[in-house]
Amino acid sequence: MSISTKGLAEEPYDVLVVGAGPVGLALAIQVATRGRRVGVVERWPQAYPLPRAVVFDHEAGRILASLGTDMAAVSEPAVEYEWRNAEGQRLLHYDFSDGSHSGWPNLSAFNQPTLEAALEERVRSLPGIDILRGWEAVGVHEGTTAVEVTVAQSTGDEPLLRDGERAQRTLRAAYVVGCDGANSFIRSCMRTSVTDLGFKFDWLVLDVIPHDRDREWTPRNLQICDPGRPTTAVVGGPGRRRWEFMRLPGESIAELNQIETAWKLLEPWDLHPGNATMERHTVYTFQARWADAWREGRLLLAGDAAHQMPPFAGQGLCSGLRDAINLSWKLDLVLSGKADEALLDTYTIERSQHLQHAMQTSVRLGRVICEPDPAAAAERDARMLADQEAGRVPQGDPFLQTFADGLLDGDLSGARAEPTGQLSRQGRVRFSGRTGLFDETVGIGFTLLTTGDPRDGLDEDTLAWCDEVGLRLLRITDDPTASGPDDVVDLDRTYLADLAGAGLEAMLVRPDFYVFGGAKSTADVPRLVAALRGRLTAVPVP
């Protein structure tokens, strides 16, 4: 077996990422594109070839697109999601076809190996990243200025032995981020406690490739709330389908996780070995838990290493990608000396707020779905049918979350006005002769959008600081003739409508697309910029 030793040089990395799943790869790309030297350690010599996560939301789509991902090549829109009871009555229906907050489909289906291959291709195209497959982190020693990580050669399942011992090397990095899954080694090296909501259910997960690519599945995404066997049937990415069947009381995992059981459960969908390929069958324990601290000194956690999410709202991978984008620019600013190290503490503060909201929503949905008692299920059905008849149905995006604390603008009392802490919308714009979504046309990073002259009132020192941290100063307008170097033409009035709705003339957006704060008048822009500068250099931790 040939395992690359590229990158095992003596010079230290700025960031060492442990784990080359989609979250680790996304983090590595985001840090490296800011000019940092990154190492990625992955114990498996080859990428995992089978599906795992199958959906992501509009915010995750925006994050993936910002990495340079060809979204059409890795995903397809998931336009609907319907809940039915055992009798086939519709209990709930979500329509995802309307325009989304982030400019990408509200929900997309994908095949994880395809996505990971695209992300790894991007990683290997960037200077400054070494991806070290077949090396497992086995030891950590944290110093005052760096972390030493001992890695040992591995086949993934078994270590590679050299003269009876594992071949080992030591890597050094300013910061180490554990993206190494639910059984995270990096988390085991930290003192953090773990909060467990006590939500645990075993489900048989089947990934199937129907041979008839033109077959219509109606609805495309279905949740069957049947106490006799709660079942999920959804898109698994282009050309694939995913089924999940809950383990019933008295049923063993061993008997559930049999290929014969899998095909028997698929009979109602007219699927059998003659017209479909079983790509994978396995039993997962769905649970809800998170680490209480995602940073300890120079060690940090992201993705499943920091939290395990039930799948009922499709927020597992989304949460990990939010971790990656939140952390990447903060690491860069701290490494460059442009921000105080306390900025990294806002990572746990901000992400745990959002994560816990998503987790509790997923658990609430899961408790509705996983009801095995027929009487309780009948009460649930009657309640949901009555709500539907009365028009009491969920509205809006339940996973849009506003940060209450963290790196945000606010007055001396800590009060924060909308849209501070909210996810900014993305619309179509024209800038410097290019037309498209804002991120791909203007770029990403700190952005000040104002209806007036963005430089008005900013002194030379402040303007120099803006250049230093990459804060772009832009005028947002709906004048189709505007063509100045700072002019962004708001083609659909997405940004102008948001500013007007909040009573603002300017807002400052962070690199993770969340709003730092707003200004009610252009005269208040210098104060807003000064507030960001002050909080980066001496970040208050609530």
pLDDT tens, residue by residue, 242-286: 999 999 999 999 999 999 999 999 999 999 999 999 999 999 999
pLDDT tens, residue by residue, 278-315: 999 999 999 999 999 999 999 999 999 999 999 988 89
Tokens encoding 301? 């956690």
**Domain extent for 241:** 196-287
pLDDT tens, residue by residue, 403-422: 989 999 986 556 688 899 99
Give the pLDDT mean for 205-231: 95
Polymer length in residues for the chain: 542
Last-in-domain residue among 287, 319, 343: 287
Sequence-distant (6+) residues with CB within 8 A of 499 are: 449, 451, 476, 505, 506, 507, 518
Last-in-domain residue among 262, 287, 312: 287
- Looking at residue 7, its pLDDT comes to 43
Give the pLDDT mean for 60-72: 96
Last-in-domain residue among 240, 264, 287: 287
Backbone φ, ψ for residue 541 (5° rounding): -105, 115
Question: Do 185 and 203 fall within a single domain?
Answer: no
Residue 389 lies in a domain: no
3-state secondary structure of 258: coil
> Look-up: residue for tokens 């939290």?
307
- Looking at residue 421, its pLDDT comes to 95
CATH number for the domain spanning 232: value is 3.30.9.10
Tokens encoding 309? 């999410």
Answer yes or no: is pLDDT of 223 > 70.
yes
Could you give the percent of the chain with pLDDT greater than 90? 86
Residue 414 lies in a domain: no
* Cβ-contact 77, 96 below 8 angstroms: yes
Q: How far apart are CA 46 and CA 155, in angstroms?
A: 9
392 exposure class (CB count in 10 Å sphere: 0-12, 13-18, 19+): exposed
39 exposure class (CB count in 10 Å sphere: 0-12, 13-18, 19+): buried
* Cβ-contact 120, 47 below 8 angstroms: yes
Averaged pLDDT of the chain = 92
Banded pLDDT at 164 (limits 50, 70, 90): low
pLDDT tens, residue by residue, 110-124: 999 999 999 999 999
Question: Do 472 and 341 fall within a single domain?
Answer: no
Pure H helices in 267-315: none
- Looking at residue 541, its pLDDT comes to 44
* Cβ-contact 535, 407 below 8 angstroms: yes
CATH number for the domain spanning 341: value is 3.50.50.60
CA angle 425, 430, 434 (to 5 degrees): 120
Question: Do 23 and 133 fall within a single domain?
Answer: yes
User: Looking at the 3D structure of the chain, how many domains does it have?
Assistant: 3
- Higher-pLDDT residue of 129, 539: 129
Question: Do 44 and 64 fall within a single domain?
Answer: yes
Tokens encoding 387? 């709500």
